[in-house]
Amino acid sequence: MMMRTGSRKRAWTAILTCWVGGALWAGAAAGADLTIAAGGRTDAVICLSAEAAGQERQAAEDLARTIELMSGARPAIVTDPTAIAAALGEDLPVFVLGELALDTLPALREALREVVPPTRVRREGDAIVLRRDGNRVYLAGINERSHYFAVTRLLNRWGCYWYMPTAFGECIPERPTLTLSDLNEIHAVLL
């Protein structure tokens, strides 16, 4: 099938517009990297609701474990409301996971609603949001399983992959200095 010259030109114009627009948006949003761990030490904290269970709690454990495998430093996991408030008040790296992220930053829940209308949310569907705001990193989804997927997506960005269960199937790079640049992703899978 041949494409007319005008159609081809419009297609390339659309592609270049998206590419340039995306590059400009990314450049405008660029900020300083957030250092998660360096030299075998970390001040990072993983905050999780005290009511978190199942895959949401496992996501926090796996995030802490993987950061330790990558950098040699394991972030603390806090669930106590007083400790969470203290962590959120400091200028240290803070991961806010799951329902706590959605409650702390209600705009995340709204962003998830925009990509997954309530009429489309089904048990099989998943949507995740990953957002960095200064020293805070919010990782959440529309359900318990999605909270875990949000953490997995962040770890994938750092080059971590799992090809089969157990340590034999892990591919986790060593990073003496682990940083995070800008982060603003939202994904939905509707089945």
Per-residue 3-state assignment (H helix, E strand, C coil) for 149-165: HHHHHHHHHCCCEECCC
Report d(CA 76, CA 186) in Å as an integer: 26
Q: The whole model's pTM is what?
A: 0.80
pLDDT in tens, 143-160: 899 999 999 999 999 999
Domains of the chain, by residue range, sit at 1-30, 34-189
The mean pLDDT of 135-140, rounded to a whole number, is 97
CATH class as words, domain 34-189: alpha beta
pLDDT in tens, 28-74: 344 799 999 999 999 999 999 999 989 999 999 999 999 999 999 99
Across all residues in the chain, what is the average pLDDT? 83
Q: Under 8 Å CB-to-CB from 160, ≥6 apart: which residues? A: 66, 70, 170, 171, 172, 173
What is the three-class DSSP state of 174?
coil
The mean pLDDT of 162-171, rounded to a whole number, is 88
pLDDT for the residue numbered 123: 55
The mean pLDDT of 76-87, rounded to a whole number, is 96
